[in-house]
A and B are shown apart, each in its own frame.
Chain A
Amino acid sequence: MEKMTQDQVRTIANMLRKRSLWMIHYCTGCGAMELPPTMTSRYDMSRLGLAPFVTSRQADILLITGYLNVKTLRRVITVYEQMLDPKYVIGFGSCALNGGVYWDSYAVIKQLDRYIPADLYIAGCMPRPEAIITAFQDLMDLIDSGKADGYKRYKRDLAYYKENQRKVLG
């Protein structure tokens, strides 16, 4: 009985969560340029209940818009760990995927997934606003179906992530 109620609550909660996604965007690369058109009247992502927020405590989505290096990774991890569950990470653009144009740079973190669990990646350099909105809609579907479980993975595989982080950050 209790389990059933919990499941029902979770279902309702997921339904609500996907309709109200607040994001904190970590703007290191050029990818951030594509966000203002997405937010403003042309594409108006608030139709989907998306809104930009400024602190990690309030946000649900961490948007990594571009390449990361050692120095920024440390901050990204701090922000991610400060966010409240449930939280989702979107890798934005090819930099977050594989380093992008900086694939051979010694200083750039090539693979975001080794350090924090990404729920979704948006490919492209740069991804167009249409792509971004599509990605958010995909994330909503994932949330609805309960598959956006990056924060759970992070907890489960904490040792793995910490080990990777330690290797890079020292």
Chain B
Amino acid sequence: MVSTILIAICVPLLAFAIGLTFIMFKLKITARVQRRYGPPIIQPIYNLLKLLLKEDNISHGVIFSLGPIIALAGSILAVFFIPIPGLNLLTGSGDLIALLYIMAIGSLGMALGAGNTANPNASIGISRALTLMFGYDLPLVIIVISVILQYHTTNLADIVAAQANGHWTLWTLPLSAIVGFVVTYGALGEHPFDIITAPHEVATGPMVEYGGKHLGFLMINHMFHIYIEIALFVDLFLGGASNLFWFYIKMFGVFFIMMLCDEVFLRFKIDDAVRFFWKWPTVVALISLIIVLVK
């Protein structure tokens, strides 16, 4: 019982830690790609603590404040459903399908909070975020279905177990894995899919009115978000991992490639982004799905 509670406390902290390190690396990687020296490695911690310790915080209403909290709670919930080596706490209570919808709680909370600001930039940002979500959801569900059919289970832990000994989905279903990468990348909202927050157009979109501790919580949520998306990708396609170290290495590898991609792209218009997702990733994912069905 005590160990369960301990694990229950540890898992979110672990996810937070991983997400935090990724953000740290992100700033540094970006700087190095741009041939800059870049900020100190622990700059995100400074940023976060500074935000949390702001003397003045404003709120546009209860929902405005609850938004980040719901978002973070949703993200923490999702973390429990992703198998981490040795720490599979709740994976039996909900499967991959449940996870897909649990992940939506975070977006919903954020959208509610942002909506309450009545700021046009925020509303446009949410409109774009939801549209983009609709966009990448189509290839996402197709590859999720192909993975489910491949392993005849919707239970994530079983999917991970089935990929043991190097039988990664990446090798058995390479097309799905490629699409999965693109979709995860889109879900993280990096270039060219950063139309949601596009600072030059809509002033960071949904976050426009957020500052101080609210913004701090949203940053924490973003760290969780990065963790969830990449961990899910690793679990689905890279065979999970047998220990935390390999898990971290795999995640970092994926994240590293993503950050490199981030630097080379420009920005999609929102409808172009949706069209993109509904065109090539969908077609490739469908081909992969048909391969699974025929097999």
Contact = CB atoms under 8 A, between A and B. Distances in A.
Interface of A: 9, 12-13, 16-17, 19-20, 22, 40-41, 44, 46-49, 53-58, 60, 83-86
Contacts of A56: 211
B54 A16 contact: no
B207 interface: yes
B19 to A, nearest CB: 18
A57 B210 contact: yes
A16 B53 contact: yes
Nearest to A87: B56
Contacts of B37: 44, 47
Interface size class of B (residues with CB under 8 A): 20 to 34
A48 B39 CA distance: 6
Contact of A84 (B34, B35, B46, B212): B212
Contacts of A57: 58, 208-212, 215
Interface string B208-223: 1111100100000000
B117 to A, nearest CB: 9
Contact of B55 (A44, A55, A85): A85
Given A19-B46, A49-B43, A57-B210, 8 more contacts: A20-B46, A40-B34, A55-B203, A57-B208, A57-B209, A58-B210, A84-B55, A84-B212
Summarize B's interface: helix, strand, loop or mixed.
loop
Contacts, number: 85
Given A16-B53, A20-B47, A41-B34, A58 B39 contact: no
Contacts of B149: none
Nearest to A83: B211
B51 to A, nearest CB: 8
A20 B35 contact: no
Contacts of B38: 44, 46-47
A41 B204 contact: no
Contacts of A85: 54-56
Contacts of B210: 57-58
A58 B211 contact: yes
- Those 10 A-B pairs whose CB atoms lie nearest each other, nearest first: A57-B211, A85-B56, A20-B46, A44-B36, A20-B50, A19-B46, A13-B53, A85-B55, A41-B36, A54-B199
A53 B215 CA distance: 13
A33 to B, nearest CB: 17
Contacts of B49: 16
Given A41-B36, A44-B38, A58-B215, A84 B54 contact: yes
Contacts of B43: 19-20, 46, 49
19 contacts: A13-B53, A16-B50, A19-B43, A19-B50, A20-B47, A20-B50, A22-B47, A41-B35, A46-B36, A48-B39, A54-B199, A57-B212, A57-B215, A83-B211, A84-B56, A84-B58, A84-B212, A85-B55, A86-B54
A44 B58 CA distance: 32
A158 to B, nearest CB: 15
Contacts of B200: 54
B243 interface: no
B24 to A, nearest CB: 13
Contacts of B35: 41
B57 interface: yes
B53 to A, nearest CB: 4
